[in-house]
Amino acid sequence: MTRLPAAPLLQRDKLTVLIVWAALSAATVLAWLLAPGESPSATNLDKELVVAVVALGLIKCRLIIRYFMEVRHAPRGLQIATDGWLAVVWLALLGIYLT
Amino acid sequence: MTAPGRDLPATAQSSPPVRERSLPGGVDMWVMVLGDLFFFGCYFVTYMVFRALSVEEFSASQRHLNVGIGVTNTVVLLTSSLFAALAVIAVREGALRNARRLLLATGACGVLFTLLKVYEWHSEISRGHTIHDEFFGFYYVFTGVHLVHLALGLLILGIAVRELHDSRGRRPAIVEQSVLFWHMIDLLWVVIFALLYLMR
């Protein structure tokens, strides 16, 4: 069993997860507004908008991994593995979309 | 699972508390999570390759999805993850009753997500969007496999809630494991939402 963190750290953790949740929710709504076809006016910036959607998706995933799954306190190997997964998946999706 | 020599725990009252490096949830659950992430990653890339072969058809089908329901479901799952993260903190504080309530709130969000997804499926099928359409084939498989994971997550959360009634000393580890699996469900949905609803 892991050693339990001290009380001040737990209080800080509560505030941190609340801030992360607010940022994740805001990023979700922002990505919705940016998605191609959501704007009432037609635009030829679909590819640029999808790049923004992918960037927001990658940031959201990293926030979940780092702060909700607590990988920010995990051994370095796990941090590298999760960052590697994020980079490979999102860059592959974007690369195939843009080609 | 602490790396020696870094982030040592606080020992003196005068120094601020510093967290030691650890593996939350334990190595067994992480093996399962990383394995799931690998296979889902392969599915995601496979979908995008098929989409690249029929961009116009996929894009037209994607525009039939109700993005509002997708956004609502994303916020519902993110909120469930917030409750789950707070439950882990509550267990570490020793506030077990509060932790149990937070885990039940997490599960309630999971049930709400499922109801919204069933409504969305019913709505799409009644408009004739079935697996005969290549995009909707992927849509039902992705969301269906994800929903199976969510059902498994609800079962694991139930085990954690039951564990909190037990007086033995395994509580932090069991709750950490169940919550880690739940966060993975949230993580996968964030990718599925962007992939199916937004990248069109």
pLDDT at B125 over 60: yes
Distance of alpha carbon A10 from alpha carbon A61, whole angstroms: 23
Contacts 24+ apart (CB under 8 A), A50-53: A50/A94, A50/A97, A50/A98, A50/B198, A50/B199, A51/A94, A51/A98, A53/B194, A53/B198, A53/B199
pLDDT above 90 as % of chain A: 70
What's the confidence (pLDDT) of residue B176?
Answer: 93
Band the pLDDT of B90: cuts 50, 70, 90.
very high
Q: Rounded distance, CA B177 to CA B25, Å?
A: 4
pLDDT at A2 over 60: no
Please identify among residues 34-93 of chain A the ones whose CB lies closer than 8 Å to any CB of chain B.
Answer: 34-38, 50, 53-54, 56-57, 60-61, 64-65, 67-70, 73-76, 78, 81-82, 85, 88-89, 92-93
Task: Name the residue in chain B with its Cα closest to that of A50.
Answer: B199
Q: Which of B104, B135, A69 is nearest to B143 (CA)?
A: B135
Cα–Cα distances (Å) from B55 to B34, B111, B130, B132, in that order, read 30, 34, 18, 17
Look at A35 and B170 and tell me if their CB atoms are within 8 Å.
Answer: no
At B143-185, the pLDDT tens digits run 999 999 999 999 999 999 998 887 665 667 889 999 999 999 9
| pLDDT 10s digits, A32-77 | 998 877 655 555 567 888 999 999 999 999 999 999 999 999 999 9
Which chain B residues contact residue A31 at CB under 8 A? 194, 198
Across the A:B interface, residue pairs with CB atoms under 8 Å apart total: 147
Q: Is A99 on the interface with B (CB under 8 A)?
A: yes
The predicted-structure confidence for A69-90, as pLDDT tens digits, reads as follows: 999 999 999 999 999 999 999 9
CATH classification for the domain delimited by B64-198, as one of 3.10.129.10, 3.30.360.10, 3.30.429.10, 1.20.120.80: 1.20.120.80
Is the pLDDT reported for residue A19 higher than 60? yes
Q: How does pLDDT run across B29-57, given as a tens digit for each residue? A: 999 999 999 999 999 999 999 999 999 99
pLDDT at residue number B10: 43
Q: Is the pLDDT of residue B65 over 90?
A: yes
pLDDT bin (cut points 50, 70, 90) of residue A92 is very high
Domain boundaries, chain B: 64-198
B38 reaches A (C-beta below 8 A): yes
The answer, yes or no, to whether residue A22 has pLDDT greater than 90, is: yes
pLDDT at residue number B142: 96
A28 contacts chain B (CB < 8 A) = yes
Q: Does the beta carbon of B43 lie under 8 angstroms from any beta carbon of chain A? A: no
Instruction: Look at residue B48 in the predicted model and tell me its pLDDT.
Output: 96
